[in-house]
Amino acid sequence: MRIIKQLRSFWILWVATIVLASSSDAVAQTSYKVTDLGRGESENEACAMSVNDEGWTEIMTWNGDPAQNVNFIQATLLSGRALIGVDGFKFDLGTLGGKNSWMNWGEINDFGQIVGMSETAVPDPNGEDICGFNTHLTCRPFVWQLFYLSALPTLGGNNGQASAINSRGQIVGMAEDGTVDSSCSPDTINNRTQLPVMWENGRAHALPTPVGDPGGFANWINDHGQAVGNTGSCGGMSHAVSWENDTVTVLTDLGTGAGAIAYGNNNRGQIVGSVFVTPGGATRYGALWQNGVLTNLGTLPGDMSAIATGINDKGQVVGSTWDSSFNWSHAFIYQDGVMTDLNTLFLKGTNLRATMANKINERGQISGMGTVLSGPDIGKLHAFLATPVNESIGRSVADDEARRPGSNLPANVGSHHLPSFGPGQLQRFGR
């Protein structure tokens, strides 16, 4: 019996070794197991904006104007909250005093730290509405860690938004400096100068903008401290840019003067975003920049536009397309020089049609949004997590490559993981 047990242990180890070897290169995976992350308890729609290497997600959930198409890109927001999703549960991050919290992209890093923006209870003295809920309350950038939501400082103005946080705790986004942006038209509601910003050690530092661009927004930052985003006039997107060592670099566009925007970057210096086809036009294509060279990723057949929003260190790119009616249309993955509709790679029986893919982690897991195909929530938008699988073995790559980070908190704090969730704080996925 002892020999049989030893042989059984050897067999399990041998099979596990084959699984790991066959799944070491995520590009070779062709199928995805989809986890429906549902929506918020009081909201009708949801989208998973980012995912860390643990498979934890930051989810935005909202109520839109019921008179509008819920899949419409510019639908009016009535309310919204930012959530963290961990191992089958969701937890509301709370607010800074107002009703709503939200995010631009809102990264969650491997320590469970999350950034975004939240309303306060204080009306904006200039009537601005940066959080976008038509409440005209002050909107502050935040960082959430260890179940505590903290406001980040601005550059002297009333509002700001935090977009991403890396493993070093560096945060990027936008902050107002309090001055009126002279490039805005007189009827502009949000008319204060918005500057790209990096927060480090609790302090806000304005990032430089190219000559002629009074403002900008930093959308993402890698673990080397290299940030990407866009700059322009009055919150516009004239140039896709990158920042390193407090130096700004304008990224190549299509050469038509239409502009571009950078949404994400990896630790290899590859940057993803989109390039506009014509100035002020609605058509744009997914973009990849590497060593200063632009690769136009185009869009999926039948769709008008595309944006590339996430890239991992393997060079896998994810993004979204929309149709001629400005509806989110398809999520895609770009790898080996080919853009593929992510829906064609989902395992049979998946009850979501993916319309957005936002970020991809080092295990190949993808965060996004999809339309429910059947059941009580048919037609609604749910957040999802797509995990690459090996169909011949029937298990997830991520199941075999669990990763646990150390902590980037001060040494005297010790090792921290997210504590266990208590009763009454949880919402099961799949609602």
Amino acid in the structure at residue 38: G
Task: Please compute the mean of the pLDDT values over residues 177-183 and round it to a whole number.
Answer: 97
Counting residues of the chain whose pLDDT is more than 90, the rounded percentage is 74
Q: What rounded mean pLDDT belongs to the chain?
A: 86
Chain segment 50-76, per-residue pLDDT in tens: 999 999 999 999 998 877 765 666 678
Q: Give the pLDDT confidence of 8-53 residue by residue, as tens digits.
A: 343 333 333 333 333 344 444 479 999 999 998 889 999 999 999 9
Q: Give the residue-averaged pLDDT of 380-400.
A: 75
Structure confidence at residue 224 (pLDDT): 98
Please, which residues have CB within 8 angstroms of residue 323's CB and are 6 or more apart in sequence?
Answer: 302, 303, 304, 329
- Mean pLDDT to the nearest integer, 387-415: 51
Q: What is the pLDDT of residue 83?
A: 97
